[in-house]
Amino acid sequence: MNIVVVGTSHGGYEAVKTVLENYPDAKVKLFEQSDKVSFLSCGIQLYLEGAVQDINYIHYATKEGYSDQGVDVYTRHQVTGLDPDQKTIHVKNLDTNETYDESYDKLILAPGATPRKLPFKGNDLDNVYFLRGREWALKSKAKIEDPSVTDVVVIGSGYIGIEVVEAYAKAGKKVTVIDVTDRILPTYLDHEFTDILTADLQKHGINVRTGEFVQEIQGRDGKASAVITDKGTYPADLVVEAAGVVPNTDWLKGTLELNSNGTIVVDAYQKTSAPDVFAAGDACMIRYNPTGKEMNIALATNARRQGVAAALNLEKPTFKIEGVSGTSALSLFDYKFATTGIKDATAAKSGLETSSVFVTDYYRPAFVPGTEKIYMKLTYEVGSNRIVGAQLLSKHDITAAINTLSLAIATKQTTQQLAFADFFFQPEFDQQWNYLCALAHAAYKQAKEIQPVAL
């Protein structure tokens, strides 16, 4: 069996790994547009901040390692098209500009996503950067180490934007972050948390400009010199656009069925509309547990699940992915936070009637030295009291607890069930009532399921 995999990041990596484990007699060919395979974009911040010194460490695999396992690897080869009738892909060698067709018996597409370019004047100026992939990481690192770069403007305050803000600020740059929404991290956290994080950003010297529309990137001698919004002008030796990503699927239009947002239509087994063609990763949607609907949730964990599923289902449909809740976590200067499922900011689009409860507590008894305050929010469906979302924040690292809440969503736990869950107590680690129990109990009381029980 001739198996071709396109793309070597999270989805492609897992697809190749699973193919090698389950189809030992298959011939495997792997195509990658970059000069290196399996780059981990999630590790860029660690590289920019110097926690990881060598960018070559931020890879799952190497071309040589794949070759040792019998995989034919084609780096610097861009796949530009697909002919499902002939069962071929169109390939361009980026070093020689040679084009040719490559045949397959089974094809797994993991093309990922590309940075979203915003439609304003100045995008083509030098010193306007994006941050996705190895090449942009290297360019950004050079700017961090460049003493002539003093003022940095970051457009967009999602995960990528916030990571860039922190990295450049720690390098001693003057950083301004601009977002069209009224607060940072608008789709990840509700205002109770973003208010805390915004104050912390400002404490670290970040100029936070929310609720502003970028109108133009101003240039001088072909280089970005300032960002102009509807409310001000901000000097810039470097501009980083971090306004999200779009599926890398333009080259598949007219060949595969695509959703309205550009993602590839796949069934429960990752099969596309074409025979023997499967897809995984950021170019696909995935079932969202809180609502049961398909959503585009560009997370490495989702891409990995889909890559495994695509490979396992090549010969026959046998393995379905369980839904996900968009579970993620991040640190920002003094705080660490995590989120899963629906929050107030996204509830209206969910189609569910929800309510939320916000709780401030300590993760262990206050008499224990060094105990930090924690901030928590639980969102549940009105009527059923089914847990559908949660958010956590603290200077202490409680982010792993979001995995418990993600599992509670997946298993349709109610606030009552989580409130009385069997969690251990030891004052070195937590309180008599674990903070997740206390959070769920507050929601339980709010929903008036039973008479309040003192904790």
Give the angle subtended at the CA of 277 by the CAs of 272 and 279, to the nearest 5°: 60
Q: Which of 42, 90, 204, 396 is catalytic?
A: 42
Rounded CA-CA distance 106/57 in Å is 31
Q: Which of 10, 59, 77, 441 is catalytic?
A: 10
Q: Report the Cα–Cα distance between both ends of the chain, in Å, rounded.
A: 61
Cβ-proximal residues to 195 (8 Å cutoff; 6+ apart), any chain: 183
Nearest of 356, 400, 363, 345 to residue 378 by alpha carbon: 356
Cβ-proximal residues to 157 (8 Å cutoff; 6+ apart), any chain: 165, 177, 178, 179, 181, 184, 185, 186, 208, 210, 242
Query: Angle, to 10 degrees, between the axis of helix 300-312 and the axis of helix 10-22?
Result: 30
Rounded CA-CA distance 445/448 in Å is 5
90 is catalytic: no
345 three-class SS = helix
10 is catalytic: yes
- Give me the phi and psi of 287, to 5 degrees please: -70, 130
Q: CA distances (Å), 354 to each of 342, 400, 439, 447, in order?
A: 9, 24, 16, 11
Q: Which residue has the tokens 């961090």?
A: 144
Give the active site residues: 10, 42
